[in-house]
Structure formats: C-alpha cells, structure tokens
Amino acid sequence: MHAFWAAEAARQQGEKVFHSFHMALLRAKHEQQRDIADTNTLIEVANNTGLEMKQFQNDLSNRQLLTKLAEDHTFAVEKLGVFGTPTLVFPENQAVFLKMSPPPLPGECHLIFNEIFNLAYHRRIIHEIKRP
C-alpha cells in the first residue's frame, strides 16, 4: 500500500517524473529484490529519480491521496476484474494478470508485449494459462 501511495505522491510532480519513479520502483522490487514497502527504500528511489524531495515527503503523508487510491482500486476490481499486480489493461478493458521471472532482456520486451497483447486481446476465449 505504501508503494502505491508513494507512486501517487510522485505523480503529483508530473507524468514524466512519475514514469521515472515508477520504472525505478519496479527495478528496485524485481531486479534488486528491495522491499518497496519500506519508507527508506521509497525515499531513496524518489531521490534517485529527480523528485523534489520536500514535496514528495509532504505528499507521502497526504491522506487525501489515499482517496484517489481507493477510487482507483475500486474501479480496477469492480470494472476490470483486477486481482493482483502487475495487470495489463488493453483496449476495451481487456485486462490480464502477468507474472514473469526473471525479467525479459531489453531486446525481448517489445516482442513479449506483442505476444501477450495478441493472446489477451485477439484470443478472448483464453481465460487462464498457468505454469506450476
């Protein structure tokens, strides 16, 4: 929950810096195995991505941002069927949960995304694929 709050705090400074923060946060969790629920980790990531730290820390304690998170969560669960992250949402609200390990190589990302899109969007009869 704290990581989502931090992401919303970063978004208050604009989409460009939010995107940088979001990508750095994903790398911290999935590549560096950092605890993104830890406030120190969130502050370090924010500091390294060029956020204005005083504003970030103020927004990180702004409870009004929790209202936005609650609204987003309710929409995601009720309208899109989201039950976990990461979930990709394609046109016409076609949502798919995705889990990959290890992360793909940079040169593979576009190809993998297109394969997932084609499967999720064009093959709507497929509802679940799972490996043990």
pLDDT by residue (tens digit) across 11-34? 999 999 999 999 999 999 988 999
Residues near 117 by beta carbon (within 8 Å), at least 6 away in sequence: 90
Same domain, 57 and 13: yes
The last residue of one of the domains, among 41, 67, 93, is 67
pTM, two decimal places? 0.76
Does 86 fall in a domain?
yes
Indicate if the alpha-carbon torsion angle 127, 95, 78, 84 is positive or negative: positive
Which tens digit of pLDDT belongs to each residue from 78-105? 999 898 878 888 888 888 888 888 878 8
Q: How far apart are CA 125 and CA 89, in angstroms?
A: 17
Q: Which domain holds residue 33?
A: 2-67
- With cut-offs at 50, 70 and 90, classify the pLDDT of residue 132: low
